[in-house]
Amino acid sequence: MSGVMVKIGIFGIIKVGIDLLGASQMWWGIVVLAFGAVSSVLGVMYALAEHDLKRLLAWHTVENIGIILMGVGVGMVGMATDHPVIAALGLLGALYHLLNHAVFKGLLFLGAGAIINQIHTRDMDKMGGLAKLMPYTATAFLIGCMAISALPPLNGFVSEWYTYQSLFTMSYDGNFVMRLSGPIAIIMLAITGALAAMCFVKVYGVSFCGGPRSEQATKAKEVPLPMTIAMGLLALFCVVLGVGAAFVAPIIANIAMSLSETSALTVTQGAILVPDSASQAMFSPALTFILLIALPLIPFLIYLGLKGGQPAFRRKGNPWACGYVWEKDMAVSAGGFTQALRSMFAPLYRMRKQLDPSPWLSRGFNKTQRGAEKVEPFWDESIIYPLVRGIQRFAKRIQCLQGGDFRLYCLYVVAALVILLLVIAA
């Protein structure tokens, strides 16, 4: 659903706006770029406020669709202003991210399904400690978190890198509107990336690290082999689409060039990625992959050399709690991790407080009231839902036109053709 079905809207925009209409007006692309930038920032901000794991991933779909729309918008602007390199780079970033999102979001939803299969809840505050109990799921989920956070050398970084390069090119090689909108979009994309990384630090830390926060979490175990294999394959694709981007990017670039009617665009030089010219920027996913593996080994090898190959001494125990007995409720929660950000951007959230009694095992307290804040999306409540209700009321009023008679439908077709001919003649 998230990996494929939501992309139908992107296909419609590309098919109609670019393929059929040729993106002849610059303001079309600016509108798409603006909607994409706003969607990406709002999507990740609402994701940060979520406790529900699957709802959080759904909000990140909004964020990533916004990033894809930013690439499509840049492509439309480039086509309308006769900048073929900008157009091809924007569409390359959009199409590459469209593919990448299907892979890493599928992986994350499979990981979420594996967790829910074991502990039967979607509340991250009732998880914790799952990395030891579900190691294969934890490893695959970590790769998905890194990919969606656009960390090199995984696939999410490559597609966002091309999107950044298209925005940079538009910022210094376009007209006044392009030079104005480009830096604004770059800033919003950077904010989106930073908040996405913060969000998935929260997701992985609260769900997999620390100690179990509920009785269900203590009973979790690794999921069956077929589920593990499915997550492993998608995790492998995240690595391959990132490290092997030098082989994948030219294929997607050919599609982008055919859409934008660009004759030639250089996106790779050997194993190095370039945005048409190496003098502008370059990135080597393969070299980055090697360095990320090799560099952590250096201090480890130095330690083994100094210690004569003896393993490090480890002592296990409860975390230090300032002299008090450590309780699992002292760990950082999903809500507590983002409390400062939610307070800072409170006008964007519509919070609904709930008070639920919960046992407290600390000395001197038998019970306390735990406060939970539920996010009510402001934009959905203020714009989307009223619009949907209005469309539903209008649809019910014109439902009488659906008579079920084939002859009546033929009459509608003829009437529509007559009206269309009159409009054309006028």
Among residues 255, 273, 290, which one ends one of the domains? 290
Sorted by sequence, the CB contacts under 8 Å of residue 279 that are 6+ apart come out as none
Same domain, 400 and 261: no
Among residues 241, 266, 290, which one ends one of the domains? 290
Same domain, 112 and 231: yes
In a domain, residue 349? The reply is no
What are the CB-based long-range contacts (under 8 Å, 24+) for 42-45?
42/66, 42/348, 42/379, 44/192, 44/195, 44/196, 44/199, 45/195, 45/341, 45/345, 45/348
Q: Which two tokens stand for residue 384?
A: 């989307």
Q: Are 350 and 377 in contact (CB under 8 A)?
A: yes
In a domain, residue 322? The reply is no
Domain count, the chain: 2
In a domain, residue 124? The reply is yes
Backbone dihedral angles phi then psi of residue 356, each to the nearest 5 degrees: -125, 130
The amino acid at 281:
A
Structural domain span for residue 98: 4-290
Same domain, 281 and 382: no
In a domain, residue 321? The reply is no
Same domain, 107 and 236: yes
In a domain, residue 110? The reply is yes
Among residues 290, 305, 323, which one ends one of the domains? 290
Same domain, 157 and 261: yes
pTM attached to this predicted model: 0.83
In a domain, residue 237? The reply is yes
In a domain, residue 318? The reply is no
From first to last of its 426 residues, what are the pLDDT tens digits of the chain? 666 788 888 989 998 888 888 888 899 999 999 999 999 999 999 898 888 899 999 999 999 999 999 999 999 999 999 888 899 999 999 999 999 999 999 999 999 999 999 998 998 888 888 999 999 999 999 999 999 999 988 999 999 999 999 999 998 887 889 999 999 999 999 999 999 999 999 999 999 988 888 888 888 899 999 999 999 999 999 999 999 999 999 999 999 998 888 777 888 888 888 887 756 788 888 888 888 888 888 888 887 777 766 666 667 777 777 877 777 777 777 777 777 777 777 766 665 555 555 544 444 444 444 445 556 666 677 788 889 999 999 988 888 888 778 888 889 899 999 999 998 887
3-state secondary structure of 345: coil
